[in-house]
Structure 1
Amino acid sequence: MTQHPGALILPFEGKVPDIHESAFIAPGARIIGDVTIGPDASIWYNCVLRGDINRIVVGARSNVQDGTVIHVEGPRPDTEGNPTLIGDDCLIGHMATVHGCVLDNHAFVGMDAVVMDGTRIAPHGMLAAGALLAPGKTIPEREIWAGHPAEMMRELSIAEAEKIAFQSQRYVELARRHKAALHGQTEA
């Protein structure tokens, strides 16, 4: 099993986090219960991913930046609840709250944004920094939503979509450097 120095990785009621060996889990991160983290994903300093009453999936090369909280909605008499499903190559900014929702591949959540239960951000959809995506809303493909509650602002340009793809790959490389530094290795 890959070591994650300084991170707290805990089982909950028989569910053990499943973390790909190439993923980076920073010191101070808390990964609890039914959480799956894919290849080359990165969970940065002081994030909390709590899969206690439903599951969390973080896809390949996605990054969850410092201080972000990811949780789920559990079952109730009127619903089966909502897992939090994060696709591949997603960017989640610092201090975001992501709760019981779906982020499709290449989705973007800005710093200090809130993504609530039953929401979805389609591929290349963007929730701006500080925005709140109200329960049940969907950000369509290549749209930028902002505000509190969030509303459609404009379409995402091709250049902006390419910048998000670049940032995703940049975080994969940055995570490798942090992982090497934590293990006392130097980059050649």
Structure 2
Amino acid sequence: MTQTTPRAAGSWLSREDLDAARERLPIVYVDAIPVRVDAHGVVTEVGLLLRAAGNGGLSRALVSGRVLYHERVRAALLRHLEKDLGPLALPRVPVSPQPFTVAEYFPTPGVTPFHDPRQHAISLAYVVPVEGDCDPQQDALELSWFTPAEATTETVLAEMSGGQDVLLQQGLRYLGF
């Protein structure tokens, strides 16, 4: 059997093929909550991206994106963290990452707390410490750091959409906050 590279095997779908796949089957995603930790491993800050929303407004968001065909979950996490936080973010993703939860995003609102009008998506959610300098990239306008208490205020949570506010709260509860 001949081995092919992911790119040669068709890891990137055309817009039409991706839309067709989204209409027929769940798409696998990763969500990551970037955090800063102190010398004892205690979370001191939570990073939230500021992105342009589809309605022309702004929203706070977690790092998120698809897992490509033939891509390991760890590689997808690293790729999306670098894509959104910049190449010098220095994320500490474990060799064998375990999600703190699995989020089911549905195109129909109200099925779960998670909503994505484009598709049915299954997302593996992680908390990932970052040690380096973060410089928002791609469609991220800025990255703001909040204490765990600040990140869970009504004001900040109201700036998030699609259920990512729920995911953020679940992640912080997982950490003991």
TM-score by length of 1: 0.24
Considering fraction of residues, name the structure with more helix.
2
Considering fraction of residues, name the structure with more strand.
1
* Structure showing greater relative contact order (alpha-carbon pairs closer than 8 Å, 6 or more residues apart): 2
